[in-house]
Structure 1
């Protein structure tokens, strides 16, 4: 009896004490949406297929391409695009913003093709724009071969860099408007369409405000979600995760519980050197977990010259890696 009791107690302790693996994903990343700092991850830097998460960058590239907004005539090639579709008809004219809604909410490959042709002159030309923009934003492990995410052995990104894609895109006001939309009504001459965002968490989880779904046989289920809670903003990306909805909720809950929004430098005037002051017009706040503040360092860059007032840069680094930089007013006494 005693032996049986001992085994039962040990088993119970094992079950209670065993760490829970929050994700069955092949790779995942949780990043601070304001700084891009990695908060949690596994295989986050491994290049993998991302499927339709590609469309985050397609929309962002289109919106910042400089092309004039307006109607796009749907080509036969766009109308017959392989994969998920919003059922565009060849020869019809559709507003580009409508196509962007169809791209982000319904993952229309036909919409991706039409937008690419319009902004890039051809699909190939637009993919080059996507790649150039990726390089500009430091996405060194990301390669695009098409605007929709259809499988190609070279079309790869990482969980971390895909998270950065969503972070950069959400800084664009039009992208944010579209990506946070739960339902969009589109009407043409023949029908009225009610497009519901495929991202399930946007309809069921108050902290999930934007995101994108993806799937191909090669990539498996891919998912990106932008969460906001108590002024904390995080992005979760999972690649090849069969239980991605649960994983995103678990990882977001873990991040919100672990990280606090900490004021690193208050708004106000700081004495840098005798006769030199730096004024922060807004406080610097970061997501930090217990013990991390000791790894922070601050650097104030002061422009050359003896001007009474100038603009400098206040940089905060974590483990000697810069994570945030903001303008600061430098005042010097002559």
Structure 2
């Protein structure tokens, strides 16, 4: 009888202390890099530590902040940042663009702090900016407490939100160039550096275009990879996966084999309304697997007025969720 009561109490404790965040050990996700659509995943919305994948958002926030690239001075706090480092020295004047390469390719925490102080005025000012940008771009399950990804109990995201970070960041041409670079040569005062990208797949797999690695004892191994093949573009994220290189290869190969790039609207002229035509300059394509085309729908928004020519908005939906919008030239 006592054993039975004990088992009931144990089950009750599991039920009330369980839930996604408590039970998740790892997570992964694959999204369409053109639309952000979730293609597959496991625990993809569970909030977990992401380690240095944080630096994707740090770099993107710096580039989007409007802060001049130019030169910045390494503060005592930046020079003494714990964790992975570029070994920047206090008081040294450093090129901001070079620091962005050191941040993404070598995961320098000192670079992260120097960039934060440069673009945000202070470390906390920049962290606030990161969180404001997270809300602006729909990272609803993400909170940042620092620009490097060092562990903090409140510094959490999800596999899906992290994939969205890469999705938005790769639309910035400067970020895309940095994140896809294999080797960067950097001159700092009288010293020369050659930084090789830590992302093994970016260096060895022709379909892996860009990415970021991460690790802390709490987060485990974290990894994001942007893949392209035959016009198909996907982003893979794994959190707390000790076999992440193979997982990313496997997931990318599976998705590329299951999904096709399907034309859902052809380039050309369309009869919109009596007396109105539309010209679509480029075809609209979506990454779809067999049977999904029936879930695609379209809505065309026509501006008010009697102008002979105007720009309409052609939005493509999947299961009633908007995926992408293209301009269409309307003539009366």
Partners of 2:233 and 2:317 lie apart in 1 by: 19
Partners of 1:229 and 1:269 lie apart in 2 by: 30
Structure 1 residue 191: deviation in Å? 2.8
Task: State the match for 1:170 in structure 2.
Answer: 170
Give the gaps of 5 or more residues in structure 2.
Answer: 1-23
Superposed CA offset, 1:217-237 (max 9, x none): 111100000001101110000
* Pair 1:88 & 2:88 matched: yes
Structure 1 residue 188: deviation in Å? 2.7
Preserved CA contact (<8 Å) 1:74 1:88: yes
Task: State the match for 2:142 in structure 1.
Answer: 142
Task: State the match for 1:10 in structure 2.
Answer: none
Partners of 1:307 and 1:68 lie apart in 2 by: 41
Partners of 1:189 and 1:305 lie apart in 2 by: 60
* Pair 1:122 & 2:122 matched: yes
Task: State the match for 1:227 in structure 2.
Answer: 227
Partners of 2:112 and 2:297 lie apart in 1 by: 43
Partners of 2:304 and 2:42 lie apart in 1 by: 44
Task: State the match for 2:201 in structure 1.
Answer: 201
Counterpart mapping for 1:1-334 below 5 A? 26-332=26-332
Superposed CA offset, 1:171-225 (max 9, x none): 1111111111011112234432211100000111000010000001111100000
Would you identify which runs of 4 or more consecutive aligned residues in structure 1 move more than 6 Å? none
RMSD (Å) for aligned C-alpha atoms: 1.1
Partners of 1:77 and 1:261 lie apart in 2 by: 48
Structure 1 residue 69: deviation in Å? 1.6
Q: Secondary structure at the residue paired with 2:178?
A: helix
Partners of 1:166 and 1:47 lie apart in 2 by: 17
Q: Which moved more, 1:187-196 or 1:122-131?
A: 187-196
TM-score, structure 1 as length reference: 0.91
Q: Secondary structure at the residue paired with 1:242?
A: coil
Preserved CA contact (<8 Å) 1:25 1:244: no
TM-score, structure 2 as length reference: 0.91
CA pair 230-219 structure 1, distance change in 2 beyond 3 A: same
Superposed CA offset, 1:2-30 (max 9, x none): xxxxxxxxxxxxxxxxxxxxxx9711110
Preserved CA contact (<8 Å) 1:74 1:91: yes
Structure 1 residue 68: deviation in Å? 1.4
Structure 1 residue 247: deviation in Å? 0.2
Give the gaps of 5 or more residues in structure 1.
Answer: 1-23
Partners of 1:191 and 1:72 lie apart in 2 by: 17
Task: State the match for 2:4 in structure 1.
Answer: none
Partners of 1:253 and 1:290 lie apart in 2 by: 16
Partners of 2:218 and 2:35 lie apart in 1 by: 31
Preserved CA contact (<8 Å) 1:25 1:242: no
Partners of 1:204 and 1:115 lie apart in 2 by: 29
Preserved CA contact (<8 Å) 1:163 1:237: yes
Partners of 1:275 and 1:26 lie apart in 2 by: 56
Q: Which moved more, 1:265-274 or 1:186-195?
A: 186-195
